[in-house]
Amino acid sequence: MNWILRVIAAVALSFAGAATAQSDVIELERTASGYFVAPVFIGPDGPYPFAPDTGASHTAIAQSLAEAHGFISTQERLDAVQTLTAEVQAERHILADLRLGALPLGEIDMVVTPTPPDLQLELFGLLGSNAFTGRVIKLDYPQARLSLNTQQPRHADARIDPVRQVLVGAAQARRIEDDIAVLIDTGSPITLVNRELARQLNRRTPVSVVNVGNMTRIPRAVETEDRVILTQFRLGGVCLRRMAVNEADLDVFRAMGWQHRPAMIVGLDLLQSTALTIDFRTGRAQIDPGPENWRCPGDRRAQLSH
């Protein structure tokens, strides 16, 4: 990815404003690279396309847009942030008058991602966990809708990690004895597995190199080592007989403590056919399939153990 560093920071910050009982529905648009974006306004300006990102604790903003709203780079307020491929230092900027559609978000502390001033941006930012603190949201990708202040999830298929403030779960697959650790990442365009999971599967297709686009917290293209095949895959209420995914040795697996256990990042290539209901108050999340043939037999679910 060329312009934006997708962030996984350690602590989420809250925004002003309590959730209301009324559900607000925002239509999502699909970008050329496959991201689902929502309209974000900064004061009277906008809308700017921001992608809801369950793989980031903090909201991120392109430097060129931040500079248009008061940000001046001094390199004094730097924090370590974890990208998919490395831990990097990033500046912060607080914006006080943000709206998601017509919904006020209040004051949000954002990570500023470097962007060349002449670059045509597909996305202007990413909505991390601290954009939704205290709310229940539903990302219905088949319907291309984001609902805020919606009904609570009935199932605990995944959870917001209390330290990293990212959405994690557990999956099962044939030939894998232990649960697969999962980062459920609506900011990643593709699904990626770590070396340990690929080693246990031992079912490969030829080596490939995948460029996953120009908008994610991946600061450069990801070189994959192999394509591997997952069979009888189950995540929450989603069951798939077979799926081919890329293996990649990403630094985020180390940061999550997953380098020695089977683990994967589930991206939009799979999530685009699911609906995610996330309660940012309790940390519970539910994963539902879009296509009927993705439903688990008997509606059984792969529940997350606590």
Based on the domain organization, do 53 and 186 belong to the same domain?
no
CATH classification at residue 186: 2.40.70.10
Higher pLDDT, 224 or 57: 57
- Is residue 153 domain-resident? no
Distances (CA, A) of 261 to 3, 123, 224, 227: 31, 33, 18, 18
Based on the domain organization, do 39 and 136 belong to the same domain?
yes
- Is residue 35 domain-resident? yes
Mean pLDDT lowest for which of 153-162, 240-249, 297-306? 297-306
pTM of the model: 0.85
pLDDT tens digit string along 205-252? Answer: 544 444 444 434 444 555 555 788 899 999 999 999 999 899 988 999
- Is residue 83 domain-resident? yes
**Average pLDDT for 106-135:** 90
Is the per-residue pLDDT at 9 higher than 60?
no
Percent of the chain, pLDDT > 70?
A: 83
End-to-end CA distance of the chain: 34
Residue after which a domain boundary falls, among 102, 123, 148 = 148
| Res 142: pLDDT | 97
- What sections of 176-262 are H helices per DSSP? 195-201, 251-255
The per-residue b/e assignment along 219-256, b for 16 or more CB within 10 angstroms, e otherwise, is beebebebbbbbeebbbbbbbbeeeebbbbbbebbebb
- Is residue 305 domain-resident? no
**Of the ranges 17-26, 58-67, 75-84, 223-232, which is most confident?**
58-67
Based on the domain organization, do 195 and 110 belong to the same domain?
no
**Whole-number Å distance between alpha carbons of 85 and 50:** 22
Based on the domain organization, do 196 and 231 belong to the same domain?
yes
Based on the domain organization, do 163 and 261 belong to the same domain?
yes
* Phi, psi (deg, nearest 5) at residue 194: -90, 175
- Is residue 179 domain-resident? yes
CA atoms within 13 A on the CB side of 179: 16
Range of the structural domain that residue 195 is part of: 158-299
The rounded mean pLDDT for the chain is: 84
- Is residue 5 domain-resident? no
**Average pLDDT for 94-123:** 89
